[in-house]
Structure 1
Amino acid sequence: MTSRFPTRTSGPSSIASSIRRPAALGAAWAALSTFALSEPSFAQNAQPPVTELPEVTVTTTTTAKKKKAAKAAAPVAASQQAATPAASAPSAGAPAPGSRSGSLSVPTTAEATAEINRTPGAVEVVPGSAYQTSTPATTIKDALDYVPGVFVQPKWGDDSRLSIRGSGLSRNFHLRGVQLFMDGIPINTADGYGDFQEIDPTAYRYIEVFKGGNALRFGANSLGGAINFVMPTGYDSDLFGARIDVGSFGFRKAAVSSGGVSGAVDYFATVTAQETDGFRDHSDGESIRGSMNVGYRLSENVETRFYLNANNVDQRIPGSVTKSVALNSPETAAAGNLLNDYQRNIDTLRIANKTAIRIAPGTLVEVGAFNVDRHLMHPIFQWLDYRYDDYGAFARLSDESRIGGFANRLIAGVNLHNGNTDVRQYVNVRGQKGAQTVDAEDTSRNFSAYFENHFFVTPDVAVVAGTQFLHATRKREVEFGATPGETEFNLWSPKVGVLWDVTRNSQVFANVSRSAEVPSFGESVNVGPTVIPFYDIKAQRATTYEIGTRGANANFTWDLTAYRSEIKNELMCFYSAFGNCNVSNADRTVHQGLELGGGAAIAKGIIANGANPDTLWLHASYTFNDFFFDNDKDFGDNELPGAPRHYLRAELLYKHPSGVYFGPNIEWVPEAYYVDSANTLDTEAYAIWGAKIGFDNGGPITAYIEGRNLSDEAYIASASILDRANANSTLFEPGNGRAIYGGVQVKW
């Protein structure tokens, strides 16, 4: 690729508005109970699973041919399976939780789904096949668009605005409130901020989504929870794979991958190169991303796995504009971004090891360590030159046993995530470094310990209790240009819940959990006479009540959750200057809502009958957000800004057993939402539609063509927030215009 980023320095340095009371949850519970069916109970929990792994063998040519033949004989194409939502519920053919059919340290998609279904709360596994063969698979929106409760909208390039249950709404840049992981290795920096540019949706076998306190195993220290992107291993990958994608706005992408097993060793590796001119002015970008893992089976009960991830990302930033510009001239970039050549360029090298040891049937210990070297080169209001050195370690125990004749499961672990950041800022002189303005070093230390116990009072009902402790410190040492200081947090986050396997294919769950979010170095106020340094910002605390149900059968899948989070000290925007939001603590706020996802076979055997008929499948995800201040001294009971009240994503797909599929889809935000806490300025409602056609019969070749925003509507895809806004506030990110994408994948 030809670079067009001259300011870059050298490479890496190594539904109803009245629902505002807990009684709404009782009504939701009555609705959820209608899902209880009369089939025999799912009794796999009566006895803890004891699953021995097969012997480690050398993969011969004959073995590989048999594996390839088995794939070719699959009766349902991968895309057809993907178009049907993966049910986050047990099924008769699902593997027993805790079982491993290949790698000891990395579950397959089916094994991960069985495992996550033990959570008494809203969680989901998104298989890569759900989006990789039918979309360009370039952003996390492609991957998570049909997960209810997750609001993700593109801003520019690979960057997006991500919020789960209203997390991080005040963060107008980067990410806060959701912890991102790559094979369990943190993507966020140690102080909690994160980026999306290092995420390659092409590279993952599946994605685990843990909402809110259901992310206890990852620390449970955020309102949004955690997302874990998991690569294939040699045990569940193709020997070779390649894909080419092209599309509107100069988009082109190429990716190759390889994986396999030889004796005690398995591997998977992938590289993706991508380039785009962008829909908006000054939004071009290019990237090269690579990931690999190598596993070695020391014995039948011990496996160690090494991870390597590297990213080189160059991206220009078009910036936020006024509402009028966003709707009438959406391609226009902000004038200041053009003048000073705003960019966000990142080089990353991430290495890690994870070792899994099965010390007894049903008892697994995992230990590991990681190091992340990240260089952020970020000319914006100033030229930011930040170098991050993050490192840490983790240990986790999972034990299946019996107590007094009752099945019991214990999970316990510790996490260590530390980091040092060299903070250098310079005057931005038309995209070039000028005089240095800041020289400081930020140090973050995080230690968490957790346990969660599942005690089965009957073979079908588990009572769950757990807690997590977080010790975190933040310290800034300054040579010049910033305010030094330090702070410390010691926070407990308990959780109790119940999980009922109503039938083999359906579950009901409920829980109450606490979460804690420690402020990052980006939280502070310095507007006029008001100065609140980062070390005076309090931790955000939330108590969340959650009930739901999930399940699936051959013609219907569902995933329904109602929740209410009562928050103290929410990290919110109360002061603004120059279009940026200065974050401090609100007193009390409430986030509550409904999350509904699933699908249904509208018709079968329309043209093709038999054992594998054609199907017309409806796939939909609806999120209702009710976020508001709770008798705030300045904003009363105003709505919290930054997220739509209703968000619907739906697709109607016809699937033929030959592998051909096609159909339309829609994204609908029926009401505008506010972008300021004073509730004076809002976005605009929109509905955009698209369509796709493709081929995937489970064989070695797949292809697709997808159209997006085919009516070419000008709409606001994402918005930043302020405390008080007006018509001249530059807070809006226009959505892309009409676009067509196409791609071909080959594997064997």
Structure 2
Amino acid sequence: MQTKPIPFLAVRRRAETLMPRLALLLLGTSAILSLLAPPARSQTAIPPVTVTADRAEPAGAMTVPDAEDARTRIEKTAGGVDIVPAEEMRDGRASTVKDVLDYVPGVFAQSKYGQEDSRLSIRGSGLSRSFHLRGTRILRDGVPITDADGAGDTMEIDPLAVDYTEVYKGANALQYGASLLGGAVNFVSPTGRSQPGFLLRQEFGSFDTLRSQFGAGGAIDNFDYYVTPTYSHSSGFRDHTDQDYTRLNGNVGYRFGDGAETRFFLSAANINQKIPNSLTRSQALASPSWTTPQSFTGNTKRNIEAIRGASKTTFLTDSGEISVGFFAASKTLFHPLSSPSFSTVVDNEEINGGGFGRWTGETELAGHRNEMALGINYFTGVNQARSYTNAGGSRGSLTADADQISNTFEIYGENAFYVIPEVALIAGLQGTMAQRELQDKFLSNGNQSFDRGYNSINPKIGTRWDFAPRQQAFVNLSWSAEPPPFSELGTTATTTALEQQEARTLEIGARGRGSDLAWDAAVYRAWLQNELQTIQPASGAAVQQNVDGTIHQGIELGGDWVFGRDLAATGDNAMLRLAYTYSDFYFDGHPTYGNNDIPGAPKHYLRAALRYSHASGWYAGPNVEWVPRGYYVDNANSAKTPAYALLGARAGYDFGNGLTLFVDGRNLLDRTYISNVGTTTTANANSTLYNPGDGRAVYFGAELHW
């Protein structure tokens, strides 16, 4: 029997009351901060960005640096980082986080089915999570998308509404105060200054795929704006994977003279996604498009409604650059689940919010150049988490009701002292105070309330050597800590006693950029204590545990090489793009699993693309995704996925008048493979851990700028 729907819970009512007040607070605070900015400088024009003057006024938006300025800043990091410009993925299908991050070494991003629930792991972060993500902070324009407890989704991110993406691996995400094994990924929005004019884009193709985008941006005196709504539909490769996504992203900026700028961001998403169950290995390989009957009888799906607002103000002083901001978000999740052994409806209403401040400056210390950064973050959130029995995809009887309250305070600082102009010694320190409190309101099965606190201090030391123009070598040693989110803490006495995951990581690498070659290489080793591991038994719900003494180590190689110019005509070229990741994650003398591999990721993962570009505007070339050895799905190392190699190809034409056309072929040989897995202690033939990847698909698109 279905209980009475509750469309406006207390959290939602609080959100509706809070959001207008918060908007007024953001506006007023930003205006006050802007008034505190120093008097306008004497220059009459905005000078260009230079690599030697961090406080130079950017030609574009101050609050959202353009991609080149962002690259100059990020390459000051003594560690693994990357920038992915939008044009690298807009020449083909661009619908998932995997499409964005495919060619970033060290990142393992795989879609579970369609756009829904993309898996994201950096250097083995959240490795056992086949749903949602943890261990990596997801941001938009420097504002967290991940929830206050550290868990999150990538579904709210629309790749078509991104100008470029910053990837900070591990403790190299200190720029945003994050100290996590996976680091941070920051998706940066276009502004009216970086993307003026209008845009129309249309994609269509296999599995009834249809994606539409409109964009408009411009600058009027001190104001600029950008707005882009998008719509996406697909029937999906697998049965019961229909999806409809409607998203809106936009921002408005105002420049106060030439020394300060305020920007307001708004994003909204309405996501309706039917989801299939995971399969056994034999089912997944024999009938990859199939799903279990329970997916239909339980009407399994994942529907999200989300709205997020943020404000960021940046202003320049004689001592450096200051950025402050606030954000608030409201999200509802309706998530029926059903399998042969598990059936429930997850029904959440959530509010997250917080603020941040950051100062960067450059001084002279003992006659040497010295760069400094200081910052604070505060995140808070309340999730009204209810569960019901699954009555054909609707709410049955109530089985759980709790408020999940998260508070996280971070303070951090970093200093780079240049012993000589080409060599910087870098030291950083980050401190975290985190609280996880659960207030149980469903007491018929006992009071499961708890209140846990997690504190950590995480140092970082390193050096960066600029041994040639745009070429660097680096080494760093860093500490990180990850408090468990509520999805790990659960409500049992065992899970609520979970300790935070801690790691110590040593990293050595180098990178460089020239006219024909850009390359990036890093080697790292991380020693983990209390690694958080989610285990999916052969039957029943997932359980969580700490695993003591594990090792994550690997090699990351990436680059672009233009190896031929003027091959068949003046102005043409051929380019090879490569991203290779070697991941060696294992237990270190575990009493049960010895030195077994930690399940969930391949040891070798290669993405490569070859492209020929003609001066007249057309381009074409093949690409490959290769996992030469399958990877284990259980701690006992008794079952693994098969190896696979996928062949793709892209081609397109740029008419030179703002119109471009493309065709993007995926898995052209129609190989059956496993794209995503759950993990368990010991797998058997009946373990439903496997999710097949999409079969052969071809997508067409057109994009018009004017």
**Which residue identity does 1:502 align to in structure 2?**
F
The residue type paired with residue 296 of structure 2 is L
Give the alignment of 1:170-181 within 5 angstroms.
170-181=128-139
| Contact 2:654-2:661 at 8 Å conserved across structures | yes
Q: Could you tell me how far 1:425 is from its partner in structure 2?
A: 1.0
Give the counterpart of 1:448 among 410, 420, 434: 410
Deviation per residue, 1:85-120 (Å, 9 max, x gap):
xxxxxxx99685554222111110000000000000
**Distance of 2:540 and 2:241 partners within structure 1:** 20
Which residue number corresponds to residue 497 of structure 1?
462
Which whole-Å CA distance do the structure 1 matches of 2:521 and 2:122 have between them?
A: 15
What is the SS of the residue equivalent to 2:441? strand
Structure 1 unmatched runs, 5+: 1-6, 15-50, 58-91
Contact 2:482 2:501 in 1 (8 A): yes
Residues 1:53 and 1:204: Cα distance change in structure 2 (over 3 Å) = farther
Would the aligned equivalents of 1:291 and 1:309 in 2 still touch at CA under 8 Å?
yes
Deviation per residue, 1:408-458 (Å, 9 max, x gap):
110110000000011111111110110111111010000000000011110
Partner Cα separation in structure 1 for residue 291 and residue 535 of structure 2:
27
**How far is 1:8 from its partner?**
10
* Secondary structure in 2 matching 1:143: helix
Q: CA deviation at 1:590?
A: 0.2
Q: Is the 8 A contact 2:130 2:676 kept in 1?
A: no
Contact 1:642-1:720 at 8 Å conserved across structures: yes
Does 2:76 match 1:118?
A: yes
- Give the one of 323, 333, 343 matched to 1:376: 333
Please state if 1:253 is matched with 2:253.
no
Q: Which residue of 2 is the match for residue 411 of structure 1? A: 373
1:463-519 residue CA offsets vs partner (Å, 9 max, x unmatched): 000110000000000111572101001101100010111100211011000111010
Q: Tell me the distance in 2 between the aligned counterparts of 1:252 and 1:96.
A: 45
CA contact (8 A) 1:8 1:345 kept: no
- The CA distance in 1 between the partners of 2:577 and 2:43, in whole Å, is 37
**Which consecutive segments of 4 or more residues in structure 1 shift more than 6 A?**
51-54, 92-95
Q: Structure 1 stretch 329-338 or stretch 546-555: which is displaced more?
A: 329-338
Query: Paired residue for 2:24?
Result: none
Q: 2:233: which partner in 1? A: 275
The 8 Å contact of residues 672 and 692 in structure 2, kept in 1 or not, is answered as yes
Cα drift, residue 534 of structure 1? 3.8
Q: Residue 530 of structure 2 aligns with which residue?
A: 569
Distance 2:597 2:41 in 1: 53
Counterpart amino acid of residue 512 in structure 1: L
Query: 1:584, CA displacement in angstroms?
Result: 1.1
What secondary structure is seen at the aligned counterpart in 2 of 1:723?
coil
CA contact (8 A) 2:464 2:472 kept: yes
Residue 520 (structure 2) aligns with:
559
- 1:670 matched to 2:628? The reply is yes
Q: Tell me if the contact between 1:546 and 1:562 (Cα under 8 Å) persists in the aligned partners.
A: yes
Instruction: Select which of 578, 593, 611 maps to 1:620.
Output: 578
Residues 540-574 of structure 1: per-residue CA shift (max 9 Å, x gap): 00000001000021221110000000000000146
> What is the aligned partner in structure 1 of residue 194 from structure 2?
236
The letter of the residue matching 2:467 is V
The 5 Å alignment of 1:605-644 reads 605-609=566-570, 613-644=571-602
Return the alpha-carbon distance in structure 2 between the equivalents of residues 723 and 639 of structure 1.
Answer: 12
**1:128 alignment counterpart:** 86
**Which residue is equivalent to 1:735?**
693
**Aligned twin of 1:164:** 122
SS in 2 for 1:196: coil
Q: Distance in 1 between matches of 2:250 and 2:177?
A: 25
* Distance of 1:499 and 1:450 partners within structure 2: 20
Q: Which residue of 1 aligns with 2:479?
A: 514
CA distance in 2, matches of 1:488, 1:54: 51
TM-score, normalised by the number of residues in structure 2: 0.91
Give the number of equivalent residue pairs: 663
Question: Is the 2:177–2:375 contact (alpha carbons within 8 Å) kept by the matching residues of 1?
Answer: no
Q: Deviations over 1:692-714 (max 9, x none)?
A: 11023664111100111000011
Contact 1:390 1:419 in 2 (8 A): yes
Matched AA of 2:497: D
Task: Give, as a single letter, the amino acid of the residue that structure 1 aligns with 2:585.
Answer: F
- Amino acid in the other structure paired with 1:333: T
TM superposition shift of 1:578: 2.2
Counterpart in the other structure of 1:86: none
User: Superposed, which structure 2 residues align to 1:207-246 within 5 Å?
Assistant: 207-246=165-204
Preserved contact between residue 579 and residue 731 of structure 1 (Cα < 8 Å): no
Q: Kindly indicate whether residue 266 of structure 2 is the aligned counterpart of residue 308 of structure 1.
A: yes
Quick one: distance in 1 between partners of 2:422 and 2:293?
A: 61
Where does residue 676 of structure 2 map in the other structure? 718
Q: For structure 2, list consecutive stretches of 5 or more residues without a partner in the other structure.
A: 16-39, 338-342
One-letter amino acid of the counterpart of residue 551, structure 1:
G
For 1:341 and 1:164, how far apart are their aligned partners in 2? Answer: 33
Distance 2:659 2:215 in 1: 15
Q: 1:240 to 1:724 in 2, by over 3 A?
A: same
Instruction: Specify the code of the residue in structure 2 equivalent to 1:497.
Output: G
SS of match in other structure, 1:213: helix
Alignment partner, residue 99 of structure 2 = 142
In structure 1, what is the Cα distance between the partners aligned to 2:452 and 2:431?
Answer: 17
Between 576-585 and 600-609, the greater mean CA deviation after superposition: 576-585
Does structure 2 conserve the Cα–Cα contact (< 8 Å) formed by 1:522 and 1:534?
Answer: no
1:220–1:493 contact (8 Å) kept in structure 2: no
| 1:263-342 superposed matches below 5 A | 263-342=221-300
Q: Distance in 2 between matches of 1:590 and 1:338?
A: 41
Whole-angstrom CA distance in 2 between matches of 1:337 and 1:418: 35
Q: Is the 8 A contact 1:539 1:569 kept in 2?
A: yes
C-alpha distance in 2 between matches for 1:394 and 1:301: 20
C-alpha separation in 2, matches of 1:549 and 1:203 = 31
Report which structure shows greater RCO (CA 8 Å, sep ≥6): 1
Work out whether residues 200 and 213 of structure 2, in 8 Å CA contact, stay in contact via their aligned partners in 1.
Answer: yes
**1:470 partner letter:** T
1:402 lines up with 2:364 in the alignment: yes
Residues 566-600 of structure 1 show CA distances to partners (whole Å, capped at 9, x for unaligned) of 00000014673625431110010000000000021
Q: Against the structure 1 CA distance between its residues 349 and 703, is the aligned structure 2 distance closer, same or farther, given a 3 Å change threshold?
A: same
Please give the residue correspondences for 1:5-84 in structure 2 after superposition, counting only pairs within 5 Å: 13=12, 14=15, 55=44
Distance in structure 1 (CA, Å) of the matches to 2:563 and 2:43: 41
Going from structure 1 to structure 2, the CA distance change for 1:9 and 1:151 (only over 3 Å counts) comes to farther
**Deviations 1:610-646, CA, capped at 9 Å, x for gaps:** xxx2111111100000000000111110000000000
Matching of residue 479 in structure 1 with residue 479 in structure 2: no
Asked if the contact 1:537–1:584 (Cα under 8 Å) also holds between the matched residues in 2, the reply is yes
Aligned residue number for residue 469 of structure 1: 431
Q: Structure 1's 155 and 250: CA in aligned 2 closer, same or farther, altered over 3 A?
A: same
Q: Is residue 573–residue 723 contact of structure 1 (8 Å, CA) maintained in 2?
A: no
* CA distance 1:98–1:617, change in 2 (3 Å): farther
Instruction: Tell me the residue number matched to 1:153.
Output: 110
Identity %: 42
2:613 corresponding residue in structure 1: 655
**CA distance in structure 2 between the partners assigned to 1:53 and 1:478 by the alignment:** 60
Using a 3 Å threshold, how does the CA distance of structure 1 residues 166 and 273 change in structure 2: closer, same or farther? same
Q: Note if contact 1:579-1:729 (Cα within 8 Å) is conserved in structure 2.
A: no
User: Residue 391 in 1 paired to residue 353 in 2?
Assistant: yes
Give, in whole Å, the separation in 2 of the partners of 1:53 and 1:729: 70
**Equivalent pair of 1:53/1:101 in contact (CA under 8 Å):** no
> CA shift at 1:55, angstroms?
5.0
- Aligned letter for 1:448? E
Partners in 2 of 1:712 and 1:395 — Cα distance? 50
CA apart distance, 1:358:
0.6
CA RMSD of aligned residues (A): 2.0
TM-score, normalized by length of structure 1? 0.86
Deviation at 1:157, TM superposition (A): 2.4
